Structure 1
Amino acid sequence: MEKRSDHGRRGRDETEEERADRRFGDLLQELRVAQTGGQILFGFLLTVAFQPRFTELSGTDRTIYAVTVLLGAATTGVLIGPVSFHRMLSGQRLKPQTVTWASRLTMVGLVLLLCTMASALLLIMRVVVGDVHAAWLVVVLVVWFVLCWFVLPVWTRMKERSKG
């Protein structure tokens, strides 16, 4: 049975705990995608330093690589954070708070994943197409990611709120 929410729209008839359970299940599905992508990228990044051509990279490219690896590690850590948060608070009757914090960590993880991808792309594009065009290509892709990951969802939310 549906009920009207505070915004006049139809919503689910669920308790705060049921809503937290549902939201956490949804969040776990989202995290599976983000974690997998972040961990695969991080894994590949870790192997770069052991490739024969790594010694040919300029000082700037090595710095970009180091920053990229650190961003990848931070991304992996924060995207695994919700799992740890849930495990440590499980059974403490804090599910709504757990979901809120897990959601915040996930958003931070998505921003860090964007930064990791941008940094990795910058390094790769500098090697492939040279310094001049690399930055512009990365900027275009970062704008694309921001549009897909953040702008479209926020725009949709605002558009739907203005209807009600």
Structure 2
Amino acid sequence: MEADRKPRKELRHGRNETEEERADRRWTELIQEIRVAQTGVQVLLGFLLTVAFTPHFQSLHQTDRTIYLVTVVLGSLATGALIGPVAFHRIVSGRHMKPRAVVWASRLTLVGLVLLLATLTSALFLVLRVVTDNAYVPWLVAGVLAWYLVCWFALPLWIRLRFTSED
């Protein structure tokens, strides 16, 4: 019975899985991550799309309307990038390309997260500009942006560099 099994390629860090099993596991993990980001960006975009139809929107200055337009476009791009892996998987499913599909879906997800970061920053900037005309708004937004960058990118990259073994 053991002789009938295909030899398994053992990966560097001790997981006893084939390339296909690893791709399946990574795909499942990626889809779980995307679900969180997709929900957030879709709710934000849905809210943004309704703003243009409110009476207050008509009284916005042209600068604020431009910021709104940029924010909606960024939100649309983020939504496309974060939904992209699902369409990608559906189109290449059954073609024995899952390891490559996981790599490309991961790239789309990272692009989607960067676009979501830009959308959130732009939306915060717009809301704070409308709520107050104070000069500290850009500084406050910069502080929140720095926080996002630390939480989403700097900390994970630092942990990755610090604790990745050289084996």
Question: Could you tell me the TM-score, scaled by structure 2's length?
Answer: 0.91
Does 1:158 pair with 2:148? no
Q: Distance in 1 between matches of 2:129 and 2:14?
A: 50
Q: Percent identity?
A: 59
1:4: Cα distance to partner?
A: 6.7
1:50: Cα distance to partner?
A: 0.6
1:131: Cα distance to partner?
A: 4.9
Over aligned residue pairs, what C-alpha RMSD do you find? 1.3
Does 1:87 pair with 2:109? no
For each residue in 1:84-133, what CA deviation from the matched residue of structure 2 results, as whole angstroms up to 9, or x when unmatched?
Answer: 00000000000000000000000000000000000000000101121512
Does 1:145 pair with 2:165? no
SS in 2 for 1:93: coil
Equivalences for residues 24-103 of structure 1 within 5 A = 24-103=27-106
Q: Which runs of 4+ in 1 moved over 2 A?
A: 161-164
Q: Is the 8 A contact 2:41 2:116 kept in 1?
A: yes
Unaligned runs of at least 5 residues, structure 1: none
Equivalences for residues 119-134 of structure 1 within 5 A = 119-134=122-137
**Residues 156, 127 of structure 1: alpha-carbon distance in 2 compared, 3 angstrom cutoff:** same
Unaligned runs of at least 5 residues, structure 2: 1-9
Question: Could you tell me the TM-score, scaled by structure 1's length?
Answer: 0.93
Q: Is the 8 A contact 2:11 2:17 kept in 1?
A: no
